Amino acid sequence: MLKQRVITALIAAPTIIAAIFLLPLSAFAAVFLVLAGFGVLEWANLADIRSNAAKGVYLVVYALIGYALLNAPALWPTVLKCVVAFWAMAAVVVLTFPASGQVLVRPVLIPAGYVAFVGAWLALVALLVAGGPWLILWVLIVVWSADIGAYFAGRQFGKRKLASMVSPGKTWEGAIGGTVLSGVLGSTLGTTVPALQTLTPDLWQWMAGSLVIAIVSVFGDLFESALKRARGVKDSGGLFPGHGGMLDRVDSLIAALPCVALAVTGQP
């Protein structure tokens, strides 16, 4: 399983990074809208949208919302605020699960899929416009390192369960290890990469930002775990060998990206 995960990551990560740095804005927006669409389809399954026709309509509506927002940049700050508020409510669901599992039903999950995936995609676009590709890479590294650090720290030192009712395999030791690694790598990148130093050269701001985003990413991961547990499934899909589905791979990112985008665009 670990070998499959490593091979998949070695193929996917360079491809994603190349797209971030090489594609112009319009192509970037189109490519990532399509990629996020795979996650939308997996969310449709979790939302109990069963027929292929209904899934097709769900996907088309997602694409239309994305296209409309791409051409309405004045709405981006408001949309990002709403998306961040959604993730704050998702954190409450995690903290109160399994009692909160009763809200994870079809009428709630259908619109929630649009908020989660359109919000994450819009955050990517807004970050590229406001901060550039290096800022997006910074977010990716902070979130990926939180996941990798949690995996290895949890295997080595994990004893105390982090959220046993949501994800029994996660431990406090793993979460702390991942957060520390994110803080180290995120602050190092922020203070050594010239493109990031122009945003702020302050070490402590990069450190604080890295730690906050790492914690947000944990809640994104746990929310997907709560959703899968409430819906009675193990993985959201099988798109990536050793990793599960698209949603399994981006659950942390779709929570973290809107928070960074909102902060960078200067909106309170």
Q: Rounded to two decimals, what is the model's pTM?
A: 0.93
- Copy the structure tokens of residue 232: 């009675």
At 198 the pLDDT is 93
- Using CA atoms, how far apart are residues 40 and 100, in angstroms rounded to an integer? 23
At 241 the pLDDT is 52
Token pair 């979130």: residue: 143
11 versus 81: which is more confidently predicted?
Answer: 81
- Copy the structure tokens of residue 30: 């189109």
At 268 the pLDDT is 46
Q: Is 70 exceeded by the pLDDT of residue 6?
A: no
- Copy the structure tokens of residue 135: 């800022």
Tell me the average pLDDT across 234-254: 73
Confidence of residue 31 (pLDDT cuts 50, 70, 90): very high
Q: Is 70 exceeded by the pLDDT of residue 135?
A: yes
In contact, 154 and 174? CB cutoff 8 Å: yes
At 233 the pLDDT is 78
Q: Is 80 exceeded by the pLDDT of residue 1?
A: no
- Mean pLDDT, the chain, rounded, equals 91
Domains in the chain: boundaries? 2-264
Task: Report how far Cα 38 is from the mean position of its chain's Cα atoms.
Answer: 14
At 234 the pLDDT is 73
- pLDDT tens digit sequence for 61-83: 999 999 999 999 999 999 999 99
User: Which region among 11-15, 26-30, 220-224 has the lowest average model confidence (pLDDT)?
Assistant: 11-15
- pLDDT tens digit sequence for 217-236: 999 999 999 999 988 877 66
Tell me the average pLDDT across 238-254: 74
| Phi and psi at residue 117, to the nearest 5° | -85, -40
